[in-house]
Structure 1
Amino acid sequence: MAEAIKHECGIAMVRLLKPLSYYQKKYGTYLYGLNKLYLLMEKQHNRGQEGAGLACVKLKAQPAEEYIFRERAMGTGAIQEVFSNVHIQMANVHGDISDTEWAAQHLPFVGEVYMGHLRYSTTGKSGISYVHPFLRRNNWKARNLTLCGNFNMTNVDEIFEHIVSEGQHPRNYADTFIILEQIGHALDIENQRLYDQFKQEGLRGIELTKKIEDNLNIGAILRSASHIWDGGYVICGITGSGDAFSFRDPRGIRPAFYYVDDEIVVIASERPVIQTVMNLTTDKVKELHPGEGIIINKSGRVILEQIQPPLNYSACSFERIYFSRGSDVDIYKERKELGRLLVEPILKNIDNDLEHSVFSFIPNTAEVAFYGMLEGLESNLNEYKAEQIRKLPDMKSDELNQILKMKVRSEKVAIKDIKLRTFIAEGETRDDLAAHVYDITYGTVTPLVDNLVVIDDSIVRGTTLKQSIIKILDRLQPRKIVIVSSSPQVRYPDCYGIDMSRMSEFIAFKAAVGLLKEKGMGSLLTEVYEKSKKQQFLPKEKIVNYVKNIYAPFSQEEISLKIAEMLTPTGTNAQVEIVYQTLDGLHRAIPNHPGDWYFSGDYPTPGGNRLVNNAFINFMEGDYQKRS
């Protein structure tokens, strides 16, 4: 993607199922679990570069010994900082570090249960206090809770009111704080239930405490807390007594994968990460089903439990297009198919003139779609060659050679050069610096003769295209520049963990508004605003997405033409056209991940309709009003 879109988060968990001495003997280190967590986090650094954190729980700590450890840091180097600080803390403890039993008792972060988190903020809230994992402390081990997640709740107000009505007094309104308190409260209730039950049976003291720790019903706790959640999420947690869990939302919006053997349980946001870290084939890594939780209790027993009943399956398609690693076997195929399905509209835009067209991609995430596009073009060309040969069975050898010499011309035209610090400049100077974020390979295009076709995985805001990419591509003097998006037009905001919340950010929305004005249909905006305003305070279940009406008068091609006009910089010599993937093409390429609300406006939860409703109201009362 030319302009980076932030994804909410990535998660990683490790639960060792053997004594630490086992890993020391077999793998040469009692830090086996910590090392695996580091790799799981590094392999998912694409999912969050604003902060990182880890938590560790020791299962065999004695009274007066610490048993929960946490380290967090902010910034793009947060993972390295976190693990560096962990090792510094270990180095500051003097003793026989070669002795596994001594290390387990005295060294921080030497334990059996680990949880890691990578953060991107979609809320605008930053600071170390917002970096996961979060921690809720108590003198009873089983009442302690550390929590992290890849999630965004659309009904924080409802959850907040619910826990306040039960007598709690949350110290913060952010969804992570509220979810921590909500699950923590359910954990307290479960502890109290078991305390009352076992005390009535005659148990006291340490015996009673251990009985509670051994019998916590984590599934019931999660069911009690999550029944009112509206959003996309994977929530992970560890209790102080050692129960660990990961729980996926009932629509499967956010992804979660796991692996279990007799030594270890591993959980992460992406499948190839687990495959690489654990050296596994694809079939060994399983995906959590919608609404399903994986629970590893204190004793190490692994339980798969349906926490909430599965609802309308809406796994996020943007995960497949852009956010998740392209090394996943299925994602790689899907991205190639997205590129292949664009062949027909591309050929239409270049008048089938392959001889005078050069094909490339915008680095780096569009590369796989580029390969699929090339394969589709080559297949199309081979069919054309075969047809020509069949037409002229008696053709001369030079005519045959001329046909066989035809090829698809592909070059690496665009190069992402450096991350320029444009904040040091203002106005036109800043724009001039931004124009040089990308560079070009000179001599790849025949000036004033060749078309230049460049594929990107998605075009959301279009800012980098206008400020940098089209300007720099135009220096090659192509006859026409065709920018191809392997995803459909992004028309609607997200509310499930991706940083796309304002209507005014989307170039497709700007184009639709522009077309309405051009055609004298501006009153439609007011009409949609009035309908949206009337339902602003309705229950989320009754809200309708009237923003769809803004796009309804126009075809995808009309909006694409307007986008091309809006993104073409002043002074561009080449004709600029933009080709988008269709919704049908998206679902053909990615049939098992139907969540397409960014493109269709069909939100999988009621909270999504409320968000788009409020986003449009904010646009009309803010950005639009200022320009009018």
Structure 2
Amino acid sequence: MSDQIKHECGIALIRLRKPLEYYKEKYGSWTYGIQKLYLIMEKQHNRGQDGAGVASVKIDLAPGKRYFDRYRSNQSTPIKDVFDNIRQGIAHADKSLVTDPSWAKENVNFAGELYLGHLRYGTFGNHSIDFVHPVMRANNWRSRSLVLAGNFNLTNVDELFNRLVELGQHPKDFTDTVTILEMMGFFLDEENQMLFRKYKNEGFNNKEISKLIESNLDVRKVLEIATKDFDGGYALAGLIGHGDAFVARDPWGIRPANYYIDDEIVVVASERAVIQTVMNVPAAEVHQVKPGTALIIRKNGDVSLEPIRVPQERKSCSFERIYFSRGTDKNIYLERKGLGAGVVNQVLKAVDYNLKNTVFSFIPNTAETAFYGLVEGVEKYMAEQKKQQIIEANGNITQEKLIEIISERPRIEKIAVKDVKLRTFITQDENRDDMVAHVYDITYGTVNAGVDNLVIIDDSIVRGTTLRQSILRMLDRLNPKKIVVVSSAPQIRYPDCYGIDMTKMGDFIAFTAAIELLKDAGKTDVIDDVYQRCKAQQYLPKEEIINHVKDIYRPFTDEQISAKIAEILRPADMKADLEIVYQTVEGLHEACPNDLGDWYFTGNYPTDGGNRVVNTAFINFIEGVNKRAY
């Protein structure tokens, strides 16, 4: 993606179902769980580079022994920092005893049966260590202690915050992380208290009651009550101090969660392919936590899948398929190729079907798979053209001409090269624009000057800043006749509120283009009307709000908006013709039929809070308020 955006975080959970001695005997070390956790987190490093954290629980330690361990980092290489800390603890232990699993469990940090890891992308604001997961709510009762990590964004934090206040709490911060932790913690306390009263009435003493609570805690009920009013996308993973654990997924399946279970281990991760690789298992053995469902792992190692919310129409995030997830997953790889194939007809039209004088390439590196799909689609078109030429020759064709026909193929070149190290040097000083222009370099001699078209595919175009400041200028140095920039994703028109760093209307080049088209057409009354209608429902309950911002785009075709985007992004000194081609929403769903979350393209939000967010974002744009819309 040429426009870098931050996105969903990554979760990793490990539950060892055997004693540590088992792993020492079979795998040579009791650190088997730590090693698997490290691999899962490292292979999901694409999901978060602002921070990382790990927590562990040691089950059934004697009182006075530390059963919770946690370490978090917001250093430049947070995963390395976290696991260096864990390894140092092991290295500094008594060398003659550290290999003994029983001794290690009582004396070495992170020598436990339960592990929770998190990778953070700070989509908004504060990058301090306090905002790095896992977050913790400690208590002297193990069954009341909670560690939580997640991939989530809620649209109604204000409502949930007020509910906590009404319950008598005084939350320390106004964030969805604190709100979710305190909401979960409150109802975990309530469940503990209910069981305490029950067993007290039955005549048990307090020490006996603690053990009974740990054996009978209803985690499903806690999750059901705590998440009842959540509006947003979430995959929440938690450890409870006595040894229960859970992973809960939102009712629309917006945020991903996958799991694998055998008699030795339970593994949960954000991405399926990561589990396949780390555990060396086929895709059929890795399953998704279903929407509105919680995977619950009991202290004794039993595992169940329990409904906690009524499942809604599945609206899993299509950006996972387009960009965020690792492309090593079989389905994601094929879907990305399908996205590239889906724009072939538009690309052929853009180059006037002149493939002899057209060079194809991609913007490194996440668009590479879509590029393969585009090229395969062009090859299919060319194969059909070759067949027609041969048929029309009716056998009257020379060997030389036949070889010429069958030798034709798409012209593929490595055009754009990204200078990664250069990007780290760029600052916010007065020379920034000039520096940004050199983030990408080009391969000279690949294009016939003044003759060839140059087709470059990207996986999405959000703001277009890098295109305008760097890529188009660099490509123009090759002197192509025409540059066609292709987005394998549709036009991004609306803010996200479920985990992606896309929240301000003014950041979307498609929105800017629509506003400019309205002004060009003398239809500024449409802008004013939408603003007034958004303001009129600003304080309504989220369930009553309608997305009026759709009316900004309604007067124009996709092609008109794309043409205006090209006009806006075109550098003043650019010589080549420029056309920008976008995937259609229909093409997106054809390529990714099982992941229909498309609100950033269509404005069709799966939750009521999404409509409130988009209207607020539009109001902020009109009023010049530069802040997130929720």
Fold match by TM threshold 0.5: yes
> 1:426 is matched with which residue: 420, 425, 429?
429
Give me the whole-angstrom Cα distance separating, in 2, the residues matched to 1:553 and 1:100: 69
Aligned residues: 623
> 1:571 is matched with which residue: 560, 570, 573?
573
Tell me if the contact between 2:344 and 2:374 (Cα under 8 Å) persists in the aligned partners.
Answer: yes
Q: Counterpart of 2:619?
A: 617
**SS of residue paired to 1:483:** strand
**SS of residue paired to 2:153:** strand
Give me the whole-angstrom Cα distance separating, in 1, the residues matched to 2:605 and 2:212: 44
- Displacement of 1:407: 1.3
**SS of residue paired to 2:164:** helix
Give me the whole-angstrom Cα distance separating, in 1, the residues matched to 2:211 and 2:369: 53
Give me the whole-angstrom Cα distance separating, in 1, the residues matched to 2:147 and 2:393: 74
Give me the whole-angstrom Cα distance separating, in 2, the residues matched to 1:582 and 1:360: 21
TM-score normalised to the size of structure 2? Answer: 0.98
The one-letter code sitting in structure 1 at the alignment partner of 2:173 is N
Q: Counterpart of 1:519?
A: 521
Give me the whole-angstrom Cα distance separating, in 1, the residues matched to 2:119 and 2:433: 32
Tell me if the contact between 1:504 and 1:623 (Cα under 8 Å) persists in the aligned partners.
Answer: no
Q: Counterpart of 2:537?
A: 535
Give me the whole-angstrom Cα distance separating, in 1, the residues matched to 2:538 and 2:326: 38
- Displacement of 1:511: 0.5
**CA-to-partner distance for each residue in 1:280-305, whole Å, 9 max, x for gaps?**
11101000110011000111100110
The one-letter code sitting in structure 2 at the alignment partner of 1:84 is D
Q: Counterpart of 1:90?
A: 90
Q: Counterpart of 1:47?
A: 47
- Displacement of 1:423: 4.2
Q: Counterpart of 1:137?
A: 138
**SS of residue paired to 2:420:** coil
Tell me if the contact between 2:90 and 2:98 (Cα under 8 Å) persists in the aligned partners.
Answer: no
**SS of residue paired to 1:24:** helix
Give me the whole-angstrom Cα distance separating, in 1, the residues matched to 2:532 and 2:334: 44
TM-score normalised to the size of structure 1? Answer: 0.98
**CA-to-partner distance for each residue in 1:395-415, whole Å, 9 max, x for gaps?**
222222221222111111111
Give me the whole-angstrom Cα distance separating, in 2, the residues matched to 1:571 and 1:623: 33
Q: Counterpart of 1:590?
A: 592
Give me the whole-angstrom Cα distance separating, in 1, the residues matched to 2:159 and 2:121: 24
Q: Counterpart of 2:482?
A: 480
The one-letter code sitting in structure 1 at the alignment partner of 2:384 is E
Q: Counterpart of 1:402?
A: 404
Give me the whole-angstrom Cα distance separating, in 2, the residues matched to 1:6 and 1:303: 33
Q: Counterpart of 1:602?
A: 604
**SS of residue paired to 1:55:** strand
Tell me if the contact between 1:412 and 1:441 (Cα under 8 Å) persists in the aligned partners.
Answer: yes
Give me the whole-angstrom Cα distance separating, in 2, the residues matched to 1:282 and 1:98: 34
**CA-to-partner distance for each residue in 1:488-508, whole Å, 9 max, x for gaps?**
000000000000000000000
Are 1:179 and 2:180 matched, yes or no? Answer: yes
**CA-to-partner distance for each residue in 1:555-590, whole Å, 9 max, x for gaps?**
000000010111111111111110000011001000
Query: In structure 2, do the counterparts of structure 1 residues 511 and 623 end up closer, same or farther at CA, with 3 Å as the change threshold?
Result: farther
Q: Counterpart of 2:307?
A: 306
- Displacement of 1:91: 2.9
Unaligned runs of 5+ in 1: none
Q: Counterpart of 2:18?
A: 18
- Displacement of 1:206: 2.5
Aligned pairs for 1:368-379 (under 5 A) are 368-379=369-380
Aligned pairs for 1:487-506 (under 5 A) are 487-506=489-508
- Displacement of 1:422: 5.1
- Displacement of 1:425: 5.8
- Displacement of 1:309: 1.0
- Displacement of 1:623: 6.4
Q: Counterpart of 1:108?
A: 109
Tell me if the contact between 1:411 and 1:444 (Cα under 8 Å) persists in the aligned partners.
Answer: yes
Give me the whole-angstrom Cα distance separating, in 2, the residues matched to 1:28 and 1:50: 34
Q: Counterpart of 1:392?
A: 393
The one-letter code sitting in structure 2 at the alignment partner of 1:309 is V
The one-letter code sitting in structure 2 at the alignment partner of 1:426 is D
Give me the whole-angstrom Cα distance separating, in 2, the residues matched to 1:100 and 1:472: 59
The one-letter code sitting in structure 2 at the alignment partner of 1:389 is I
Query: In structure 2, do the counterparts of structure 1 residues 180 and 562 end up closer, same or farther at CA, with 3 Å as the change threshold?
Result: same
Tell me if the contact between 1:247 and 1:294 (Cα under 8 Å) persists in the aligned partners.
Answer: yes
**CA-to-partner distance for each residue in 1:164-201, whole Å, 9 max, x for gaps?**
11111111110110111111011111111111111222
Q: Counterpart of 2:217?
A: 216
**CA-to-partner distance for each residue in 1:297-349, whole Å, 9 max, x for gaps?**
11110011011110121111111000011111100010000001111000000
Q: Counterpart of 2:442?
A: 440
Structure 1 range deviating more: 409-418 or 455-464? 409-418
Are 1:31 and 2:34 matched, yes or no? Answer: no
**SS of residue paired to 2:361:** strand
Tell me if the contact between 2:485 and 2:579 (Cα under 8 Å) persists in the aligned partners.
Answer: yes
The one-letter code sitting in structure 1 at the alignment partner of 2:47 is R
The one-letter code sitting in structure 1 at the alignment partner of 2:27 is Y
Structure 1 range deviating more: 395-404 or 370-379? 395-404
Give me the whole-angstrom Cα distance separating, in 1, the residues matched to 2:230 and 2:98: 45
Root-mean-square deviation (CA, aligned residues, Å) is 1.1
Q: Counterpart of 1:203?
A: 204
Give me the whole-angstrom Cα distance separating, in 2, the residues matched to 1:575 and 1:308: 53
Unaligned runs of 5+ in 2: none
Give me the whole-angstrom Cα distance separating, in 1, the residues matched to 2:509 and 2:295: 41
**SS of residue paired to 1:481:** strand
Tell me if the contact between 1:422 and 1:434 (Cα under 8 Å) persists in the aligned partners.
Answer: no
Q: Counterpart of 2:67?
A: 67
- Displacement of 1:75: 3.5
Give me the whole-angstrom Cα distance separating, in 2, the residues matched to 1:197 and 1:431: 68
Q: Counterpart of 1:358?
A: 359
Give me the whole-angstrom Cα distance separating, in 1, the residues matched to 2:436 and 2:452: 26
Tell me if the contact between 2:493 and 2:603 (Cα under 8 Å) persists in the aligned partners.
Answer: yes
**CA-to-partner distance for each residue in 1:138-180, whole Å, 9 max, x for gaps?**
1111110000100000000111111211111111110110111
The one-letter code sitting in structure 1 at the alignment partner of 2:542 is K
Are 1:466 and 2:468 matched, yes or no? Answer: yes
- Displacement of 1:89: 2.5
**SS of residue paired to 2:186:** helix
Are 1:554 and 2:530 matched, yes or no? Answer: no
- Displacement of 1:522: 1.2
**CA-to-partner distance for each residue in 1:42-68, whole Å, 9 max, x for gaps?**
000000100000100000211111000
Structure 1 range deviating more: 203-212 or 363-372? 203-212
Give me the whole-angstrom Cα distance separating, in 1, the residues matched to 2:274 and 2:408: 41
Give me the whole-angstrom Cα distance separating, in 2, the residues matched to 1:163 and 1:518: 49
Give me the whole-angstrom Cα distance separating, in 1, the residues matched to 2:206 and 2:93: 32
Tell me if the contact between 2:333 and 2:369 (Cα under 8 Å) persists in the aligned partners.
Answer: yes
Q: Counterpart of 2:330?
A: 329
Identity %: 55
